[in-house]
Amino acid sequence: MPKKRSNLQNKSELLAVRSLLGAIGALPLETSMRFGKSIGRLLAKKFPKLQKTARRNLEIAFPEMTEAEREKIALGTFESLGRHLGFVSHFRKFKLENVRELIEVVGKEDYFDKAHATGRGILFFTGHFGSWEVFNLLPPAFGFGMNILVRRIDNPLVENFVDKMRTRFGSVTLDKKKAARQMFRALENGELLGILADLNVQEKEGVFVDFFGVPASTTTSIAKLALKTNAVVLPAFAVWEESKKKYVVYLEPPVEYKAGDNSDENIRDLTQKITKTVEKYVRLYPEQWLWIHKRWNTRPAGEKGLY
């Protein structure tokens, strides 16, 4: 059971979050993002345990790389997180009419529009790339509201502050611990739902699928939702494109699956396809993925831990 938080602690943390985002957000957007990268480099030095996790993950995923190559990617992860912070610090200042200029969506006509025309729900899956919070800005780009599955922050005051930023442009956040019925209802009603698909889960919550050639315990929630609602499973990844100086959301062709087959084998097969797409983007943009997360932490029974 989580330790009860004091009101003073909650207020102090809220003040810290507001002060940090306010200070960074007071700068022009481009400057805020450059400054954020500097903060990321500082955090890399201040949190050696996170650096250690990143290095170990990179050893697992890219054993053929030199240590210098892996160090470059590890540092890039912190810089990407800092840039992401700089971008998020401006959420409260963004205007509805400016969102389309801030975010470019590639593949909307080919994949999203065609999927939406079917009348089925659309289940977006993504990963911790670039700025995953960008998905909260997509309703103006798509012209439709979007449900986003989130983990609520333990501090209710900080959660309320962050949630107001996330939902400014039409997104609805759903608590991952309580939202099972809401997710099913949304997809059955032909709505949009976004879920992160790249984190380690406990064995009882997922299945082991191949990720960089190593078994990784992966959530089955996306596959189960799709199979029960006949939703379109649409990959979507928001990455920073330096040449364009903006975040670009890349949509991919829908992931095909055997509709109506709720067998364990079919759930695993769809989860593997989803994970392979995530891996594709990790390979394309390795410096923008969340290497500081212990992705291979849960191991098959009897197998030695990797960390």
Report which of 91, 58, 89, 92 is spatially closest to residue 76, judged by C-alpha positions.
Answer: 58
Neighbours of 149 (CB within 10 A): 18
Compute the distance between CA of residue 98 and CA of residue 267 in angstroms, rounded to an integer. Answer: 40
Compute the distance between CA of residue 211 and CA of residue 285 in angstroms, rounded to an integer. Answer: 16
Is there a domain that residue 43 lies in? yes
Partners of 21 in the β-ladder: none
Which helix (H) or strand (E) covers residue 248, if one does?
Answer: strand 246-251
Compute the distance between CA of residue 213 and CA of residue 148 in angstroms, rounded to an integer. Answer: 30
Residue 267 has a pLDDT of 97
Is there a domain that residue 301 lies in? no
Is there a domain that residue 304 lies in? no
Task: Confirm if 107 and 122 have CB atoms less than 8 A apart.
Answer: no
Which helix (H) or strand (E) covers residue 232, if one does?
Answer: strand 232-241
Residue 5 has a pLDDT of 79
Is there a domain that residue 2 lies in? no
Number of domains in the chain: 1
Neighbours of 223 (CB within 10 A): 28
Residue 3 has a pLDDT of 67
Angle made by CA atoms 155, 193, 173, in degrees to the nearest 5: 20
Is there a domain that residue 191 lies in? yes
Task: Confirm if 141 and 112 have CB atoms less than 8 A apart.
Answer: no
| Residues of the chain falling short of pLDDT 50 | 1
By residue range, what is the domain housing residue 182? 7-288
Is there a domain that residue 297 lies in? no
Amino acid at 253: P
Angle made by CA atoms 179, 180, 182, in degrees to the nearest 5: 65
CATH code of the domain containing 177:
3.40.1130
Six-digit token string for 186: 């949304």
pTM passes above 0.85: yes
Is there a domain that residue 194 lies in? yes
Compute the distance between CA of residue 175 and CA of residue 153 in angstroms, rounded to an integer. Answer: 10
Is there a domain that residue 305 lies in? no
Q: What single string gives the DSSP state of each residue in 7-60?
A: HHHHHHHHHHHHHHHHHHHTS-HHHHHHHHHHHHHHHHHH-HHHHHHHHHHHHH
Residue 239 has a pLDDT of 95
Residue 97 has a pLDDT of 77
Report which of 291, 248, 260 is spatially closest to residue 103, judged by C-alpha positions.
Answer: 248
Amino acid at 134: V
Residue 102 has a pLDDT of 87
Residue 242 has a pLDDT of 93
